[in-house]
Amino acid sequence: MYLSVLGTHTGITGTVQVPNSKYHAHRALILASLAPGTSRISGLTDARHVHYTVSMLRQLGTGVEVQDDTYIVHGGPYTPLRPSVSAGSSGTTLYFMAGLASLGTRDVVVTGQKYFQRRPIGALLAALRAMGVDIESSTGCPPLRVAHGRPRGGEVHISGTLSQWISGLLLLAPFARSETTVVVEGAQNEGSYVELTLAMMARFGLHVEASEDRRHFRIPPDQQARPADLRMPPDIGSAAFGLAAAALHPADVALAGLRSTSSAGSDHPEADFLDLAAEMGVPMDYDPAADAVRVRHQGLSLQPVDVDCRRVPDMLPVLSVMACFAKGRSVFRHIDHVRMKESDRVAAMLQLNSMGADLTVEGSTLAVRGVRGLDGADLSSFNDHRVLMSLAVAASAAEGRSTLTYPHAYRISYPEYLSAMTGFGLRMQVEAGVLRRPLPSRPARTARGSRPRTIAGPAAVEACAAVTGPDWVRRWAAERPNETAVVDGGTGASGHLTWVELDALADRAAAALLELGVRPGDRIAFQLPNQSEFVVLTVAVLRLGAVAAPVMPIFREREVALALHRAAARVFVTVEEFRGRLPAEELAGLLRRPDAAGPVPPLSLANVLVLRSPGSVRPLPSVPGGPRFTDWDAALQQAPSGPALLPEAAPTARDAAQLLFTSGTSGEPKGVVHRHGTLSRAAAMEAAHLGLTSDDAVFIPSPLAHQTGFLYGMWLSFVLGCPQILQPVWDPERALQLMRGWRATFVQAATPFLTDLVSAVDAGTPAPPTLRIFVATGAAVPRHLAERATRVLGAGICGAFGTTETCLGTLASPRDEPVKVWGTDGRALEGVRTRIVDDVGRLLPPGVEGNFELSTPTVFEGYLDRPDLTKEVFTEDGWYRTGDTAILDGAGFLRITGRVRDIINRGGEKIPVAEIEQLLYRHPAVLDVALAAMPDERLGERACAFVVPVPGRRPLLADLTGFLDGHQVSRHYWPERLELVDALPRNAVGKVQKFLLRDTARGFPPPDRSSQ
């Protein structure tokens, strides 16, 4: 089993009860057991360490009862019930009771859990022997043979390394036959814990004289402990994890029972943590009415600290986590003894470096330099409760999913930890199984004993083609309910969903749509960025047998109105705000004032659902006589719960699922209709071709409203049953962070996305180590970019060709030889046929450029309400005309050379546009380039190069033509005009809109031909 933690950047809220102090409980219970009579220790703690102390006392014959929240202890001489007694896994119990076991009426063997057999306690044993205890160990580790009989007393020396050793001697010394002097040698660590021991002994009537520097203790002999009634204070060591979580997230939380915001007046040995938290900038206020410490803020800038770990040694793990998020360098001094705890806690916390932290050990000092953020990772808790809880808090604020071994270790000291953290809203849960050993560059997401799901061979693809989108979700909700399905990668987003959560939310959304009158076959339009609600809504729409009609987020009023009109949508879902725009208000404004933007096509729209921005108080738009605007969350809350949907709603694989409007690189968009089975088949074909499995994770920077994001992001995740990682707004550094944290293995996106990622990594942003495959679509990948990206990202860069109408037709594979992967658009997928023909339809041989056509089982149903346009794109024998010119080599690898409409015909000589662009892309002053035709009276057309220059460079036309001349390019192919631009016009998925460049070029003056 392992603890799975999903990172989140949203606020946490709620109230948790701080448990009572285990430190006080250990000491009070032991001292009560030594006091003849009855003691009452109120304020139970459920810490397993304390249970081990109670258990060992009972094994020694002490009566310990539990009544309500109180331990009732009947103290007196120890009368061991058996020859062997166990300290369980509690080091405190072992150290305190090793010597005290000698006060029993018979010899005993003190044991513990198996790993105690490797815990050296030679220094403690030597000190006990010096006091006159007959105690033996063959290894200097448990098990220990302890002879019964009061100790002699005398002068004993003990290292100041561990306070528990000192406390163990002090607890025993009052019962010696003569005076005892305990001398602490070397640096004394953990002094506050010794102070608590002295204070607690005084409560039970035991006397110790301590020097001012707490290096010498004189304990009179033959003392008698007296019963006492005590109330245990709150455990600051446990509260520290709630305070740390509140420091790392926007928070409005209360820690009930915690009565102070500083160490003043507290005898808790870890009270200094409160002062350190305040010094770091955590805003804590005590609320007497609620008897709680509250933390409220919208985000903190934590300050670094300088800590002497001898005072708060057990706080190093959680403080080092907080220091990772501080603005500067924190220093933790005197850490040597921290390495002697349940684990080497310093080494354990160095695992934070695998999450992107900056921790270094310099002698006996740990330095932590704050970083911008952490990434998810697979970590070990070393079965150490402090390490587990601290690393889990770090993982809660990291980007991605983390796993931790020994997930129940927290029960040792803070059994309520997991319920407290999840009560705040953090995503932590114990999952069954042990993570399999991962394959190279692939994180294991499947438990050992089960195999990752693969799609291999035509039969497997055919089986996938029979499954609808919502049925995939229902299947994974049943088979892998708690695995991550959707990662909402927006800043401040918390919409991460498991499969069972996605399934349940989709049912609720479907019920809400039913309430609005949605029925099978209806088209539901929605304009949403890449966020979890897009996925939920898609599954809900399809579950009703309706058709999903997503609209690109960048579309404005006119484009949205046109899409709603063509889709005949009666329901539209949009967001209140996105990237500074107000889409819902824009639509309402258009409907109120249609003449302001020109004639608006008639709409059948009846309802608009609006996803509100967090904390928004802006009123929803209203349109007199128009559609009703409703809050999305309110609609979901009012919808009937449960999966009871219309029986006739369940779609089949042959039913329409998707209506997409083409990207419009060459003119007006057209509505493309696809079936469930087509989409499932297309995703399965790619998975089979690339060897993708359920252990992969799909990163989706392309808009979900475009086929690349919708099909080869979201739907591919459905088919594989693997996580999909959504990024709503493109930012390469954020993309790399998401891919690292969530361990993305696969991306399909346009070439500009790849360019930006490579540039960001070159600039110093760490590459995602798990990324295996980047499929570049939309435009040919320049060879040198592919080569560079392969080195920089460490991933296979695969070219591909596809259209909205046909899905992917050709695709390279990392298994192909590099010249094919980097220099082509791949080869036909299984079941796809490709051909090159001339202008009259005659088949051309390999290596000859012509018109590219394909035949595929993933072709669309047709253009919505446009049979005339549908007929135009098919040949008489049923092949799809792509509109591209291309070359197929003898091995079947495709190389797109241009669009038919983009061809530049210079005096009858066709310029190889794609080839010239590829060459110019390699010019050191060129960041981006596209060639477009400009009209010419004599030659018909000439080439104009639109160039985005490298910052600080301004190339001349002569620079470009000289570069081409150096590559022996025919003079006829050289561009004859250069236009420097800030950016090339691209659609939302990165395709260059050549028709806009041609429109621009039409306005250029005729070129000077005096030199021609």
Cβ(160)–Cβ(188) under 8 Å? yes
- Residue 487 token pair: 């990662």
Binding site annotation covers 341? yes
The answer on whether 378 is annotated among ligand-binding residues is: no
Q: Are 110 and 59 in contact (CB under 8 A)?
A: no
Task: Annotate 243-278 with DSSP letters as a single string.
Answer: HHHHHHS-EEEEEET---SSSTT---TTTHHHHHHH
- Residues annotated as catalytic (active site), given as ranges: 314
Instruction: Identify the residue whose tokens are 């990622």.
Output: 757
Measure the CA dihedral 475/476/481/482, to 10°: -170
How many whole angstroms separate alpha carbon 80 and alpha carbon 97? 13
Q: Which helix (H) or strand (E) holds 563?
A: helix 557-567
Instruction: Please tell me whether residue 558 adopts helix, strand or coil conformation.
Output: helix
Strand, helix or coil for residue 749: strand
* Structure tokens belonging to residue 578: 């996105």
Q: Is 91 annotated as a binding residue?
A: yes
Per the annotation, does 164 bind a ligand? yes
Other beta carbons within 10 angstroms of residue 74's beta carbon come to: 17
Strand (E) positions, 873-1010?
880-888, 894-899, 904-906, 909-911, 926-936, 940-949, 977-980
Contacting residues for 572 by C-beta, under 8 A, at least 6 apart: 524, 525, 526, 527, 564, 587, 605, 607, 608, 609, 627
Cα 364 from Cα 352, distance rounded (Å): 18
DSSP state at residue 598: B
Q: From CA 932, how far away is CA 996, in angstroms rounded? A: 9
Whether 693 and 443 have beta carbons less than 8 Å apart is answered as: no
DSSP string, 928-940: EEEEEEEEETTTE
Q: Is 314 annotated as a binding residue?
A: yes
Nearest residue to 812 (alpha-carbon basis) of 797, 795, 832, 802: 797
In 3D space, the residue among 711, 681, 682, 674 whose CA is nearest the CA of residue 861 turns out to be: 674
Name residue 98's amino acid. Answer: A
Q: Does 936 show up as a binding residue in the annotation?
A: no
**345 annotated as belonging to a binding site for a ligand:** yes
The torsion defined by the Cα of 74, 79, 82 and 87, in degrees rounded to 10, comes to: 60
Provide the angle, in degrees to the nearest 10, between the axes of the packed helices 957-966 and 913-921: 100
Helix (H) / strand (E) element for 18: namely none
Give binding residues for phosphoenolpyruvate as ranges. 22, 91, 119, 164, 345, 386
Give binding residues for 3-phosphoshikimate as ranges. 22, 27, 163-164, 314, 341
Give binding residues as ranges. 22, 27, 91, 119, 163-164, 314, 341, 345, 386
